[in-house]
Structure 1
């Protein structure tokens, strides 16, 4: 399979040269992208299918159709003096770290070699991590549970099904209608793992991954084959006896029906594993802030609040519900509202408004009115155009309100002490915000 790579919002021109993609392959990938829920009404939400090039938008991940695949990487700034391969490797590592935080996974990224980060696509790296974790788990034993069975046996086992005994077996007294529990590995959790292994076997083009998936398929040979659409996710119970399977279950859900992505198949259509960066950035930052403030007098709610902007006059029914990305409370009162935006803003030298949209400001003003928070923050990804200083970039008072609106950034390319930096954004800058409010 010929792999192609492009950054979000960049173009991949048509042609047979280096860094180009043949037009017929571009057509195939664009058709697959249009099947994604992220494609939007015009079908260009994932890829813009232009006359001369494919242009990636704010969705990242993998599109695989037939004998070609397209990897879309986020526009995360890494060391500019590195080679293209090394820069892509660094971006893949940061993206998978963001996914791990957002999905509450503990992934050992150190087990993936530097060569793999450079040469393998995002999908193949995720498959490799999944295979490693699943192999380690099955070596410790597959989970089993008691499942109720019914059978007609020559001797009583379990309890007698009286109704079935005197109907079906009325003329055959040598058989007893038994109902009993049998300890079995053919259960919902193992069926999900087998479905994930089978699905990835059809998707992966890595020789190493294919070998690992074949070995795992042999382990699950006696487990029933269930179509992914018919899997019983609700039947899976994670408790202290099978806690180590929690992350594998989350990864299987990611591959089969994930919250951020969509997988489509059939009739050569291909497979798509896609993530909307707005949603991923929001979940990533929100979960890190919750960790950063653990043990303080503040509590964090993600997508909380849900206060309506309007109430219908006749029915008093709420209209236009709000869902702030991150609400921070102290003593039950909202003290800080943070809204994440996966957008590239400009420096104040280039633009006093920094490219912050008017709609985003209006949204924050609505939060100020509805939630009564004295501090609001629009949080963006940091980039070199903003200088070396991240966190709070600008601070303004909302006219007519005792509320401060901040513009801030966080460098997702820098994974060092992320919790400490976010804690500084919330706690250290809180005093500065209050001073600005009183000034």
Structure 2
């Protein structure tokens, strides 16, 4: 099994020229080019001479038999394994890497790729479902039958059985495992079997197919997932369905002449960083603060609203803090005018006197506190540029939430 090609966000890679990389081949570029021509609005990358430039999206892209992993990185610290571990930890914290507690120990945490880890998670979930017993559902059916065991469909019965009086065209129900949930899961198994490079996973899929009931083929779309209702019987399926949705809705078969299937599971680092900071604050600081995410307030007219990333309200003092996360390297400790104007408005609308623009620390940047020229009433309000240390002891810094709170409490 070949290892994935690994790059970092914003890397430029090509098979020849200025950005040549030994492992990046002309066939890889052609596959990206074919995909781009079919999907010119793709946010994951852009074409450059003889290669591609990745954007702020991280995760894994598989084209044909080649897996390409795009990893986050801030500054010059850490290698590919370190940043893959950071990505996996962030995804797990944000519930984007879902595993049963009992199955986590069986996973290879140093998986061959992020994509392979999602495949393994899904297969473990299906194995667990099969062992506990797949549920049955009542499914409506219709068709010809020699016994009357349901309601007659009169118009079709007349058109089809005028001559054959011994037959009935009827509507009836069956109690079966062939229903939407299992059809979606089985389609996901087939996709993984098709695109996976792992003999071990293919072997597991082969054994699961024997345990899995025969179900109808389904061309899955987003609308199928919206038809899955909340039910006590569906709870054990939630994790498997979540991963199935991620895989099936990001799978693009037959990019060109059936030669290059593509599966991309990619995450916008701006969104992932925001969600990660929100979740760790909510988990570790909820005793002291009320932590609110994406709260909206009306800004203009009847529909235009504004929403900061994170609002913290101190439970004892009722003091409000605004945090806006930015996953980018800030040069010369100077934020953009638009970012500062945004924080100024947030302070006014939430009656906050202290806000924070939070960046990942790329070197030895120092926090910087500045006050806005126009006060709120008669009170000065401020915005602090803060830099969170992402890496610590060779992995993701587990103290980020406390570091953020310490910075706020010094204001």
Larger displacement relative to structure 2 (208-217 or 159-168): 159-168
Which residue among 262, 265, 270 is the counterpart of 1:273? 265
Which residue among 104, 107, 111 is the counterpart of 1:112? 107
1:373-406 per-residue CA deviation (whole Å, 9 max, x = no partner) reads 222121222344348xxxxx33332222232312
Contact 2:289-2:312 within 8 A present in 1 as well: no
Relative to structure 1, the CA distance from residue 368 to residue 263 in structure 2 (aligned partners, 3 Å threshold; closer, same or farther) is farther
Contact 1:29-1:63 within 8 A present in 2 as well: no
1:263 aligns to 2:251 (yes or no): yes
Which residue among 369, 387, 391 is the counterpart of 1:395? 369
1:100-139 alignment, distance < 5 Å? 100-103=92-95, 105-107=97-99, 109-113=104-108, 116-117=110-111, 120-139=112-131
Contact 1:381-1:410 within 8 A present in 2 as well: yes
1:193 aligns to 2:196 (yes or no): no
Which residue among 20, 31, 39 is the counterpart of 1:28? 31
How well do the aligned residues superpose, as a CA RMSD in angstroms?
Answer: 3.5
Relative to structure 1, the CA distance from residue 163 to residue 274 in structure 2 (aligned partners, 3 Å threshold; closer, same or farther) is same
1:358 aligns with 337
1:339-373 per-residue CA deviation (whole Å, 9 max, x = no partner) reads 11111235xxxx3xx14222211221122233322
2:68 aligns with 70
1:432 aligns to 2:410 (yes or no): yes
1:377 aligns with 356
Which residue among 251, 274, 279 is the counterpart of 1:282? 274
TM-score by length of 2: 0.80
Which residue among 125, 133, 137 is the counterpart of 1:145? 137
1:320-331 alignment, distance < 5 Å? 321-329=305-313
Contact 1:381-1:411 within 8 A present in 2 as well: yes
Q: Following TM superposition, by how much is the alpha carbon of 1:227 offset from its aligned partner in structure 2, in angstroms?
A: 1.0
1:64-103 per-residue CA deviation (whole Å, 9 max, x = no partner) reads 33343422111157974xxxxxx43332232123223334
Q: Which runs of 5+ in 1 are unaligned?
A: 40-44, 81-86, 312-316, 388-392, 434-439
Q: Following TM superposition, by how much is the alpha carbon of 1:328 offset from its aligned partner in structure 2, in angstroms?
A: 3.4
Q: Which has the higher contact order (CA 8 A, sep 6+)?
A: 2
Q: Following TM superposition, by how much is the alpha carbon of 1:305 offset from its aligned partner in structure 2, in angstroms?
A: 0.7
1:344 aligns to 2:318 (yes or no): no
Which residue among 40, 43, 55 is the counterpart of 1:57? 55
Q: Which runs of 5+ in 2 are unaligned?
A: none
Q: Secondary structure at the match of 1:336?
A: strand
How many equivalent residue pairs?
392
1:174-213 alignment, distance < 5 Å? 179-213=171-205
Q: C-alpha distance in 1, partners of 2:13/2:396?
A: 32
1:405 aligns to 2:383 (yes or no): yes
Q: C-alpha distance in 2, partners of 1:288/1:194?
A: 35
